[in-house]
Amino acid sequence: MDRTDAYSFFLHETGHALSFNGFRDFGTGQLTGNFQSIFDQFVELVDIDGDDVPFFNGDAAVAEYGGLVPLTFGNLYHVGNGSPLPGDDLIPDMMNGVVYFRGTRYDISALDLAIASDAGLPLAPVVVPESGSFALLLPALALIVRWRKSPVK
């Protein structure tokens, strides 16, 4: 398939709207004024061979990734880089700024959620009821359906 997946595209752009955004210069990583987003507060520029390479240093993201998270050099509000820069392991991530493979469905990763959490998006774990709860619910639903179908006397 040679098409861009609309679901993946929507999730990626929603990631920008909700958390992967700010006021830094995309190319240099420098702040462009005297204001910054919450995401911007966690951007750390690290000198690598004379270039200021951006990394994300939020607690949840660092814990999830196992260290500073490489942001895309020259495309700041994304993760990952092509080799030799750090972060080539993040190219399959939905929020990567290197390449989008046509015909590929991207999903929200644990790292994406960790960065969003650090950037101020309130996230709560989803609680899925145990299968036993559903088993108890089914007979009750059957009784309600049967009761509603019974003729009025």
Q: Is residue 128 part of a domain?
A: no
Question: In terms of pLDDT, which residue wins out, 124 or 50?
Answer: 50
Question: In terms of pLDDT, which residue wins out, 3 or 134?
Answer: 3
Res 122: pLDDT: 83
Query: Alpha-carbon distance 28 to 30, whole Å?
Result: 5
Task: Give one DSSP letter per residue of the chain, joined into a string.
Answer: --S--HHHHHHHHHHHHHTS--SB-TTT--BSSS---HHHHTEEEEEETTEEEEEE--HHHHHHHTSPEEBPTTS-SSB---TTSS-GGGTTSTTBSS---TT------HHHHHHHHHTT----PPPPPPHHHHHHHHHHHHHHHHHHHSPP-
Q: What are phi and psi of 81, to 5 degrees?
A: -150, 160
**Structure pTM?**
0.79
Asked if residue 107 has pLDDT above 70, the reply is yes
Q: Is residue 82 part of a domain?
A: yes
Average pLDDT score over residue span 73-97: 95
Other beta carbons within 10 angstroms of residue 103's beta carbon come to 9
Q: Is residue 147 part of a domain?
A: no
Q: Is residue 148 part of a domain?
A: no
Residue 20 — very low, low, confident or very high, per pLDDT cuts 50/70/90?
Answer: very high
Question: In terms of pLDDT, which residue wins out, 103 or 89?
Answer: 89
Q: Is residue 40 part of a domain?
A: yes
Residue 133 — very low, low, confident or very high, per pLDDT cuts 50/70/90?
Answer: low
Report which residue type is found at 3. Answer: R
Question: In terms of pLDDT, which residue wins out, 55 or 101?
Answer: 55
Asked if residue 22 has pLDDT above 70, the reply is yes
Q: Is residue 127 part of a domain?
A: no
Asked if residue 59 has pLDDT above 90, the reply is yes
| Number of domains making up the chain | 1
> What is the three-class DSSP state of 140?
helix
Show the domain range for 26.
6-118
Sign of CA dihedral 76, 72, 79, 9: positive
Q: Is residue 139 part of a domain?
A: no
Asked if residue 152 has pLDDT above 60, the reply is no
Q: Is residue 29 part of a domain?
A: yes
Average pLDDT score over residue span 40-62: 96
